[in-house]
Amino acid sequence: MFAIVDSTARLPRWQTLAGTVMSSLIATFLVFDGAIKLVPIAPVTETMTALGYSGDPMLARGLGIVTLACALLYAIPRTSVIGAILLTALLGGAIATQLRVGSPIFSHLLFGVYLGLIAWGGLYLRYEAVRKVIPFKL
Identify residue 111 by its one-letter amino acid code.
F
* CA dihedral sign, ordered 57, 58, 59, 60: positive
Q: Which residue has the higher pLDDT, 11 or 23?
A: 23
pTM: 0.89
Q: What is the pLDDT of residues 86-123, one digit of tens each?
A: 999 999 999 999 999 999 999 999 999 999 999 999 99
Cα separation of 73 and 79, whole Å? 5
User: CB of 51 within 8 A of CB of 97?
Assistant: yes
pLDDT value of position 9: 57
Confidence band for 64, pLDDT divided at 50, 70 and 90: very high
